[in-house]
Structure 1
Amino acid sequence: MKPYRILVTGSRDWPDMDCVYANISTAVFQRVPAVIVHGACPTGADAQAAWWVRMHGQTLGVTEERHPANWRPDGKLDRSADFRRNAEMVALGADLCIAYPAKETP
């Protein structure tokens, strides 16, 4: 059976781990096996999705697909690396996308 692909994307400052956990849990319990696809950022929504997989993945038959951005392909900072990485993840296909946008600052 082909794994259900869940793309998790969002702000590197996303503060609500409980929200990420609840949304992934709901999506996974509907479809297993599953793969959680994320951008491998060490903070925010990506990190929370990765943590969910570490805590529950093996038990539930869920794997992780990491897509880190290549910030310095030629030694110089590439500020568009995250946008390119996100486009690549979308192009690979997903059955569901869960997005956590940056919160507006006053």
Structure 2
Amino acid sequence: MTPQPYRILVTGSRDWNQMDIVHGALATACFQNVPAVIVHGACPSGADAIASWWVRGHRIIGLTEERHPADWRPGGRFDRAAGFRRNAHMVALGADVCLAFIRNGSNGASHTAALAEQAGIEVRRWTA
């Protein structure tokens, strides 16, 4: 029987720029629990982008990436709640740990971390 991958949910501010902190957190979480899947919101900047770059840079057997971009413009109209719905969906899919990189009190990352805690998921926070 193949073990289920260790699910690491990454949430973070769009303007998070401390690559070394994200890299270190992922390395600690992943190398103890392979195979692993890194789950994130596919934001093109900040913590999501750093996590995605980290996954692509590591050729570890069993390491995969699961991207969940928000649908900001369903039907062509801007939807302010799209990110919050996406975050709730990622938490509902389950994770073993949530790594939260929160800069300037980011509403989205704080929301995701709070939802993860409510779901019984261990949350590790870094703030800037």
* Shorter-normalised TM range: over 0.9
Counterpart of 1:19? 21
Counterpart of 2:34 (choices 32, 35, 41) is: 32
State whether structure 2 residue 86 is matched by structure 1 residue 89.
Answer: no
1: CA distance, partners of 2:60 / 2:48:
20
Counterpart of 2:76? 75
1: CA distance, partners of 2:104 / 2:61:
31
Counterpart of 1:43? 45
TM-aligned CA distance change 1:60 to 1:21, over 3 Å: farther
1:10-45 per-position Cα deviation (integer Å, ceiling 9, x unaligned): 100001010000000000011000000000000000
Higher RCO (CA-CA < 8 Å; seq separation 6+): 1
Identity of aligned residues (%): 67
SS of aligned partner of 1:74: helix
How many Å apart are 1:60 and its aligned residue? 4.1
Q: CA RMSD in A?
A: 0.9
Q: Which one-letter code corresponds to 1:7 in the other structure? A: L
Runs of 4+ in structure 1 over 4 Å off: none
Aligned residues: 103
For normalisation by structure 1, the TM-score amounts to 0.94
For structure 1, the 5+ residue unaligned runs are none
1: CA distance, partners of 2:85 / 2:49:
19
2: CA distance, partners of 1:59 / 1:8:
18
For structure 2, the 5+ residue unaligned runs are 106-128
SS of aligned partner of 1:7: strand
Counterpart of 2:100? 99
